[in-house]
Structure 1
Amino acid sequence: MNLLFSPQRFDDPGAGPLYLQLQRRIAEAIASGRLAPGDSLPAERDMATMTGLSRVTVRKAVQALVLSGQLVQRRGSGTFVAHKVEKLEQALSLLTSFTEDMQRRGRTVESVWLSRAVHSPSPEEVMALGLGADDRAARLARVRRSDGIPLAIERASLSTAFLPDPEVVETSLYGVLEARGLRPTRAVQRISAANLGPRDAELLEVAEGVAGLKIERVSYLPSGQVIEFTRSLYRGDAYDFAVELKLT
């Protein structure tokens, strides 16, 4: 680490701006494995002291690597080498849960819960779920992780007629619903691009403002009744969505 941030070789006028020299040096260390996924970098003030560069120069180099996805910053923790994200192809013709999809791929699944509670429904939930004035909505918000990497933020809403206690959902929402004979069999999804705001970017461990995929899903029971309204944000660098088209 000391050699990486040595002040030597920052005085070559032909090597370009100082922040680019530092950026290249860190990127080369990541590519060669000298900096491994999960390794932490010194604080900006420490890197400035070690390299002899200004903190502005160091910050510019670090931010460029954060924007390129090579580094990730966690509030209150520091700057780390990002884990490499395997691109996943997701078929749009299959109605599966995140848990089922990851298990089918042989990957581990984790949920970092943000909230599980019952609320008065928002106007959007009233419209999507067909709720009445006296109905209540069960909300579940969590970060979905696979093999230790955050892939999506999922915010699901259901009528308490179907899910009176959201705390019973520990891993798979669809697993809980299926055990109660309430498994959705049809859904309508809308996909759009979204730039991630500060909070969502922090949860997904990517740079603020990077592209993500926003997916809204309304799911139905065999009877045609709406059971689930879910809004998800997926990392744009982790997913390709595919659909098969046929000539009818």
Structure 2
Amino acid sequence: MSEAADEIFATLRQSGQSGAPLYLQLRRSIEDAVRRGLIGPGDALPSERDIATKAEISRVTVRKAVQDLVKGGILVQRHGSGTFVAPRMERVEQSLSRLTSFTEDMARRGMAVRSQWLDRGLYAPSPDEMMVLGLAASELVARVARLRIADDTPLAIERASLSARVLPDPAGIGSSLYAALEATGNRPVRAVQRISAANLGEGDARLLDVAPGAAGLRIERISYLASGKVIEFTRSVYRGDAYDFVAELRLGITADETGRGA
């Protein structure tokens, strides 16, 4: 690491006349070193004090550059251990045109899947759950929350809500919620999803092993039975550095346009 560090600092000194803020120059120097393979996944960075001394800049400047790189997924910080180059992660692509479970998705890719249960229980419904699931205030809602992990990498936090009439014993779910619903004839056949960008809060970031404030994807999904009845209300958070959602788009042809072409 010492030779790579020397080159980073040399590059930083050479770029000192660029006029860009010093923290930005340092960030770019470290990013360039990672891109060129001078420092690789798992390599430790020198301490903030050492970087500040060798680069002849303040520790506040170093800290700002490092925090930017942690939020960008280039570096990771481990409490009590230091700062390291983040492991390279193969991004997962998920189609938006198929309604599948996380377990089915990852198994199709040959990835080993496991879940860490965060919550399985019956509760009084929230106003949102009452509205979406059509529940009365006197009814109960089943909540199932899991950290979804593939090949030992935490990828998503899924928090699903269903009527307790549909899922009276959430603690009895095995590895797949959809498999449990299919066994009772309640597996959804279609869903509407809303995807938005989000910066991960401290709790979710800790579960997903990323820095607080890191980029994430927030997904709200309402799933339906063939009858049109809402069966599931899910709010999930995905790692922004690991997930791509892919949709196929087709040219739409209206009925009027079809008639004119006849």
TM-score normalised according to structure 2 size = 0.77
Distance 1:186 1:35, change over 3 A: same
Q: Deviations over 1:168-193 (max 9, x none)?
A: 23421111211222211121222222
Q: State the partner residue of 1:140.
A: 144
Q: State the partner residue of 1:118.
A: 122
Within the candidate set 151, 159, 164, 1:160 is matched to 164
Distance 1:203 1:35, change over 3 A: farther
Q: Helix, strand or coil for the counterpart of 1:124?
A: helix
Using the TM superposition, name which of 196-205 and 130-139 deviates more: 196-205
Within the candidate set 103, 106, 109, 2:110 is matched to 106
Q: Could you tell me how far apart the structure 2 residues matched to 1:8 and 1:27 are?
A: 10
Displacement of 1:100: 0.8
Percent identity at matched positions? 59
Displacement of 1:27: 4.0
| Structure 2 gaps, min length 5 | 254-262
Displacement of 1:202: 3.0
Structure possessing the higher radius of gyration over alpha carbons = 2
Distance 1:53 1:134, change over 3 A: same
Q: Could you tell me how far apart the structure 2 residues matched to 1:234 and 1:67 are?
A: 15
Q: Could you tell me how far apart the structure 2 residues matched to 1:9 and 1:190 are?
A: 45
Find out whether 1:131 has 2:139 as its counterpart.
Answer: no
Q: Could you tell me how far apart the structure 1 residues matched to 2:199 and 2:87 are?
A: 21
TM-score normalised according to structure 1 size = 0.80
Q: State the partner residue of 1:228.
A: 232
Displacement of 1:39: 4.9
Within the candidate set 137, 145, 169, 2:173 is matched to 169
Query: Do 2:220 and 2:234's aligned partners in 1 also have CA atoms closer than 8 Å?
Result: yes
Query: Do 2:52 and 2:58's aligned partners in 1 also have CA atoms closer than 8 Å?
Result: yes
Q: Deviations over 1:140-163 (max 9, x none)?
A: 222222222222221111111121
Query: Do 2:8 and 2:29's aligned partners in 1 also have CA atoms closer than 8 Å?
Result: no
How many equivalent pairs are there?
248
Displacement of 1:195: 2.7
Using the TM superposition, name which of 144-153 and 226-235 deviates more: 144-153
Quick one: which amino acid aligns to residue 196 of structure 2? Answer: S
Q: Helix, strand or coil for the counterpart of 2:118?
A: strand
Q: Could you tell me how far apart the structure 1 residues matched to 2:78 and 2:108 are?
A: 30
Within the candidate set 196, 202, 206, 2:206 is matched to 202
Distance 1:80 1:134, change over 3 A: farther
Within the candidate set 183, 190, 194, 1:186 is matched to 190
Query: Do 1:196 and 1:210's aligned partners in 2 also have CA atoms closer than 8 Å?
Result: yes
Query: Do 2:219 and 2:236's aligned partners in 1 also have CA atoms closer than 8 Å?
Result: yes
Q: Helix, strand or coil for the counterpart of 2:245?
A: strand
Q: Could you tell me how far apart the structure 2 residues matched to 1:46 and 1:117 are?
A: 50
Find out whether 1:87 has 2:91 as its counterpart.
Answer: yes
Quick one: which amino acid aligns to residue 120 of structure 1? Answer: A
Displacement of 1:65: 1.7
Distance 1:24 1:192, change over 3 A: closer
Q: Could you tell me how far apart the structure 2 residues matched to 1:131 and 1:63 are?
A: 44
| Structure 1 gaps, min length 5 | none
Distance 1:167 1:38, change over 3 A: farther
Q: State the partner residue of 2:244.
A: 239
Q: Could you tell me how far apart the structure 1 residues matched to 2:6 and 2:107 are?
A: 45
Displacement of 1:123: 0.6
Q: Could you tell me how far apart the structure 1 residues matched to 2:118 and 2:49 are?
A: 32
Displacement of 1:18: 6.7
Displacement of 1:206: 3.3
If each structure's helix is expressed as a fraction of its own residues, which one has the higher value? Answer: 2
